[in-house]
Copies of this chain bind each other. A is one copy, B any other.
Amino acid sequence: MRVIVDLCVVPLGVGVSVSPYIAACQREIEAAGLEHSMHAYGTNIEGGWDEVMAVIKRCHEVVHELGAPRITTTLKLGTRTDREQHMQDKVSSVETLLAAQRQGEDLA
């Protein structure tokens, strides 16, 4: 079972600057060799369910090791059995629709 997730790890008890903790997570995701893409409020990761979940556990472990006594994570998880879909497909299918509609408006 493949999964596309959106991961947002929030360390508590370490002040307001959380980027060192997020950077540590990014290194774990990179080390796992999983396809990923960071945005302003999380990171998309794609892969097998177990591989993706293992890296999310590693994120919690390293953020605690770096000194965060408490973590709250928000995670979205998408699976589908009807067809294969990759992260970029999801963005492309919306962008294609938007482009087609803009072209339709220009021709009108």
Contact = CB atoms under 8 A, between A and B. Distances in A.
A75 B3 CA distance: 14
Contact of A40 (B19, B57, B72, B87): B87
A79 B87 contact: no
Given A41-B6, A44-B39, A20 B97 contact: yes
A103 to B, nearest CB: 13
Contacts of A98: 23, 26-27
Number of chain A interface residues as a range: 35 or more
A49 B20 CA distance: 24
Nearest to A86: B40
Contacts of A61: 1
A7 B10 CA distance: 16
Interface of A: 1, 4-6, 8, 10, 12-13, 15-16, 18-20, 22-23, 26-27, 37-42, 44, 46, 49-50, 53, 56-57, 60-61, 64, 69-82, 87-88, 90-91, 93-95, 97-98, 101
